[in-house]
């Protein structure tokens, strides 16, 4: 087993255990923090697959926006954590049945992959090594090259629109109170 495979198994085990704890945690804040741990480990896996743009987008969108939004909502709602124990004897058989069907649906298509080598067609022309055919630049370099050369005007206009939106939000929340109460 190579070091990459061992890192993959360690990361995937962290993802699976954290996801199980996200669902089973009684404290919603602990659940959200473990959900962020799941997101960070998925981002690590995407970096290992050399899909940098997707990984950074995942961090910005899911960790930076959605998870933090959930955290703020949970903190603002001030949910009281009580003893909401579910009756596992009541819901357990249905959950086990659905889990069994889910695992069955995943494993049945994989059963036929062992017979792939016995197929009668030739696979000599199916693989093309594109890395030797083209110059290699990473995904982020390609996006940056396009963004700052061909689409730089749109990039500047989007920045200006976001700046105006921030100024508008500040002006809407600004309250000018002329009367000052002085206490003696």
Chain segment 144-160, per-residue pLDDT in tens: 888 888 888 888 998 89
Residue 38: predicted pLDDT: 92
Average pLDDT rounded to a whole number, residues 34-60: 87
Q: Structurally, what CATH architecture does the domain formed by 1-80 represent?
A: Up-down Bundle (1.20)
State how far the Cα of 73 lies from the Cα of 71, in Å rounded to an integer: 5
- Fill in the DSSP letter of residue 108: H
Residue 67: predicted pLDDT: 81
State how far the Cα of 145 lies from the Cα of 129, in Å rounded to an integer: 24
Residue 16: predicted pLDDT: 92
Residue 125: predicted pLDDT: 58
Q: Model confidence at 128, in pLDDT bands (50, 70, 90)?
A: low
pTM score, whole prediction: 0.52
Residue ranges per structural domain of the chain: 1-80, 137-173
* 4-13, 114-123, 130-139, 148-157: least confidently modelled range: 114-123
- Fill in the DSSP letter of residue 59: I
Residue with the larger pLDDT of the pair 52 and 78: 52
Residue 160: predicted pLDDT: 92
If you average pLDDT over every residue of the chain, what do you get? 78
**pLDDT tens-digit profile of 62-102?**
888 888 788 777 777 766 665 556 566 677 788 788 888 88
State how far the Cα of 94 lies from the Cα of 91, in Å rounded to an integer: 6
List of long-range contacts for 130-139, beta carbons under 8 Å, 24+ apart: 138/50, 138/52, 139/50, 139/51, 139/52, 139/53, 139/54
Average pLDDT rounded to a whole number, residues 111-126: 57
- Pick from 35, 1, 32: nearest CA to 17: 35
């Amino acid at each position: 087993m190579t070091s990459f495979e061992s890192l993959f198994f360690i990361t995937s085990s962290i993802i699976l255990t954290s996801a199980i704890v996200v669902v089973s945690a009684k404290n919603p804040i602990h659940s959200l923090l473990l959900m962020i741990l799941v997101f960070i480990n998925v981002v690590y896996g995407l970096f290992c697959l050399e899909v940098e743009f997707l990984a950074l987008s995942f961090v910005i969108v899911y960790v930076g926006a959605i998870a933090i939004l959930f955290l703020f909502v949970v903190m603002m709602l001030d949910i009281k954590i009580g003893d909401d124990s579910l009756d596992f004897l009541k819901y357990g058989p249905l959950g086990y049945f659905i889990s069994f069907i889910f695992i069955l649906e995943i494993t049945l298509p994989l059963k036929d992959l062992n017979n792939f080598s016995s197929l009668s067609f030739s696979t000599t022309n199916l693989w093309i090594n594109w890395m030797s055919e083209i110059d290699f630049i990473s995904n982020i370099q390609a996006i940056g090259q396009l963004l700052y050369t061909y689409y730089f005007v749109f990039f500047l206009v989007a920045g200006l629109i976001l700046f105006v939106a921030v100024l508008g939000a500040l002006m809407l929340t600004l309250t000018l109170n002329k009367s000052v109460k002085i206490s003696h």
